[in-house]
Structure 1
Amino acid sequence: MKWVTLVLIAAIVWFQYSLWLSKGGWRDMWRLEDQVAEQEQKNQSLTLRNNALQAEVDDLAEGEDAIAEIARVDLGYIRDGEVYYRLVRR
């Protein structure tokens, strides 16, 4: 009877070890859950960036206003008939 108890205790210890510490156990599951949450956060920020870039591409493809704005800001473009004033601080 004593050996049956020892075998059962050994089995319980083995199963508990497998459950908590071995590969695929609770510890790995918690680590993977943290990695998934971190990756979801990265994916969300990348999705927002992609949506902003897609809106800019759509705006550039559909209208001349965006192209004119970029030309004005980056290249100093002035349309015919417009007057350009430059204010210089002294």
Structure 2
Amino acid sequence: TAFAQCKLAIELNPTADNYYNLGFINVKLNNKAVAESNFIKSTTLNPKFIKSFIDLGYVQIDLNKLNKKKKLITRLQSTIYQN
């Protein structure tokens, strides 16, 4: 399955892209709390991975984590304005 392949990919190469892909799959499986964790790891590994920030925000909205959403926006703004 795609889920198993992503888990294996992370074991072999724990990159931001691989965590993002696992998060995306977890969203599709309606495992949003797990997806949130995957997207957080992805943005930690690559703070310039804007797509991961956006999907993290959507998941946090779905989970009604508005306080975390504000922190996420602040983090994203600092990433954007550093360039």
The TM-score normalised by the length of structure 2 is: 0.24
Identify the structure with the greater helix proportion. 2
Structure with the bigger RCO (C-alpha within 8 Å, sep 6+) is: 2
The TM-score normalised by the length of structure 1 is: 0.23
